[in-house]
Amino acid sequence: MNRLVSNLILGFFILVLVVVYGVVKQPAIYSLTAPAVRDGDRQVVLPNGTVLNVAVADSEDERIQGLSGTENLSRDEGMLFIFPYAGQHGIWMKDMNYPIDILWLDEDGKVVDVIENVPVPQEGETGGNLPIYHNDDPAKYVLEAAAGTAQGAGVEVGERVVLS
């Protein structure tokens, strides 16, 4: 009887540990509002002097979330994705509610690729069948801005963006 009670207590303790571990490892719940610029976030200066206040996505979870689910993005806001290495970094429009411009930047802030006015997903485009937008040349950063920002600021491949 003593052994049975000990085994039940041990089993209960293991169950509690498994449940606690599962709760701790759950993905973060993200806000559905526009990304708030917080202390430590940055400003980006486009080649014509336009300044964008950008939320920084520098962890894997933040890069996966991106601007998904946000309601809007003002003309002076954006999101700067910082990757641990320069390479090809695919961007998708999962749960996006507005079109954006996507700029890929190398380590020095030089624009290596631009896709303007990327549309929101169409009816029926979800998960695995969403288009993924890629850069051709290696990039360390990806800047997402409101659609029309690149054209309005005259951004072209080869120009420099200042990250501060």
**CATH of residue 154:** 2.60.120.1140
For the chain, how many helices (H) and strands (E)?
3, 9
> DSSP characters for 101-142?
EEEEE-TT-BEEEEEEEEPPPPTT--GGGS-EE--SS-EEEE
CA distance 3 to 9: 10
CA distance 136 to 134: 7
Task: Specify if 75 maps to a domain.
Answer: yes
Q: What pLDDT score does 122 carry?
A: 80
Other CB atoms within 10 Å distance of the CB of residue 28: 9
Q: What pLDDT score does 115 carry?
A: 97
pLDDT band at 17 (very low <50, low <70, confident <90, very high): very low
Q: Over the stretch 28-62, which tens digit does the pLDDT of each residue have?
A: 333 333 444 444 578 999 999 999 999 999 999 99
**Of 97, 104, 155, nearest to 133 (Cα)?**
104
Task: Specify if 132 maps to a domain.
Answer: yes
Considering its fold, how many domains does the chain have in total? 1
Q: What pLDDT score does 121 carry?
A: 84
The pLDDT of 73-99, averaged and rounded, is: 94
Please give the residue range of the domain that contains residue 86: 42-163
Q: Over the stretch 132-144, which tens digit does the pLDDT of each residue have?
A: 999 999 999 999 9
